Amino acid sequence: MSTGDTTATRPVGSGPLWTTRRARRSVGDGTTRLGGGPLVTAALLVITAALAVLWVLPLVWAVLTSVKPEGETTAIPLRWLPSQWTLDAYHKVLAAGDILRWMANSLITATLTTVLVVLLSSLAAYGFARTTFPGRRTLLAITLAGVVVPPQLLVVPLFSEMVALNLVDTYWGVILPQVVAPAMVYILVRFFQALPREVEEAAVIDGASRWLIFWRIVLPLSRPVLAAVAIFTFISTWNNFLWPFVVTTDPGTMTLPVGLTVVQGSFGLRYAQIMASTVLAALPLLIVFVVFQRQIVRGVAHTGLSGQ
């Protein structure tokens, strides 16, 4: 006999309401479509292509310069293509310093920093987005104020702290100051606030703890934005020069940007070798972007839509 109750019943054995698959359905794919017809689409494609060419040209110029004979790098008029292709600049760069060791150091520090930033920033952001406690807004404002603090301002106190902790010329001395990422906390707070609370409320009814909700629901739903945070953190850590330059003096612990700067100082104005070292530094990041470009685009899209 019907009682007029329109609430859907769960089939036996279907599992709790807060399973990841059901939760994903409630969030949607976060995609939007731009209107305006084919003319607008064509204009956007032209603008995008122009910007792409603008960004790619310096990289192409660096690659072509790195395979030129040294005498052609400053020839007038400038020529894009070398008259003779050579890898001599790469041989000299690889022989001048321990490039592979510096690459390994950069990979270790960037990977560990990325893991810690994703873990700690997601925990902090979830606390700000889903819990209420005295001084929450003030603490969040103080955390986000770190975004506007120039990193150069913190070099001296951070270095003094690393000296006191005996972390100079160590991996942890490079990693720990970069783990604090207020901008990533803000991005994740906005994303978590946009997640539907109904999914978590259903999990609470099923007896799930706050910790279980975070690991089994929130993190799986946040994969796109977490991927974006991880990739952006990895790239910024890999490219970071100032702090590793300050905290490392031993060539065995230098990261790639610092080591290449030391090597480039011995080149003088040999542009082919300078460009070869630049290409070697950018190559790992280019590989990361090519492999994870879909995650980058999805993460940026979800981050941009999280405030809706």
pLDDT above 70 (res 192)? yes
Q: What is the pLDDT of residues 88-105, one digit of tens each?
A: 888 888 887 788 889 899
- Residue 28 in this model has a pLDDT that exceeds 60: no
List CB contacts of 29: < 8 A, sequence separation 6 or more.
none
Task: Say if residues 221 and 198 touch (Cβ distance below 8 Å).
Answer: no
Tokens 């106190």, residue?
Answer: 157
Distance, in Å, from the CA atom of 228 to the CA atom of 25, rounded to the nearest integer, reads: 21
97 phi, psi to nearest 5 deg: -155, 170
Length of the chain: 308
Give 176 or 21, the one with higher predicted confidence.
Answer: 176
Q: Which residue has the higher pLDDT, 297 or 21?
A: 297
Structure tokens at 158: 């951070």
pLDDT above 80 (res 190): yes
Question: Residue 197: CB partners within 8 Å, gap ≥ 6?
Answer: none
Q: Residue 77, preceding bond cis, omega within 30 degrees?
A: yes
**Cα(44)–Cα(42) distance, integer angstroms:** 5
Q: Are 184 and 128 in contact (CB under 8 A)?
A: no
Nearest to 25 by CA among 264, 202, 256: 202
Residues whose CB is less than 8 angstroms from the CB of residue 27 and which lie 6 or more positions away in sequence, other chains included? 195, 196, 221
Quick one: what percent of the chain has pLDDT higher than 70?
A: 83
Q: Examine the pLDDT at 1 and tell me if it is beyond 80.
A: no
pLDDT surpasses 50 at 284: yes
Statement: residue 114 has pLDDT above 70: yes
Residue whose structure tokens are 């109750």: 5
Which residue, among 11, 67, 27, has the nearest Cα to 196 in the 3D structure?
A: 27
For residue 150, give the nearest of 230, 259, 233, 243 by alpha carbon.
243
Phi and psi of 36, rounded to 5°? 120, -10
User: 112-121, 201-210, 225-234 — which one is most confidently predicted on average?
Assistant: 112-121
The predicted pLDDT at position 56 comes to 87
Percent of the chain at pLDDT exceeding 90: 22
pLDDT digits (tens, 9 = 90+) for 135-144: 888 888 888 8
Is the CB of residue 117 less than 8 Å from the CB of residue 229?
Answer: yes
Return mean pLDDT, the chain: 81
Which pLDDT does position 302 carry in this prediction?
60
Per-residue pLDDT band for 273 (boundaries 50, 70, 90) equals confident
Domains and CATH numbers, the chain: 100-305 (1.10.3720.10)
Q: Which amino acid is at 128?
A: F
Q: Each residue of 151-179: pLDDT tens digit?
A: 888 999 999 999 999 999 999 999 999 99
Q: Is the pLDDT of residue 305 over 70?
A: no
Would you list the DSSP string of 69-132?
-GGGTT-SS--SS-SS---HHHHHHHHHS-HHHHHHHHHHHHHHHHHHHHHHHHHHHHHHHH--
Most confident of 16-25, 84-93, 297-306: 84-93
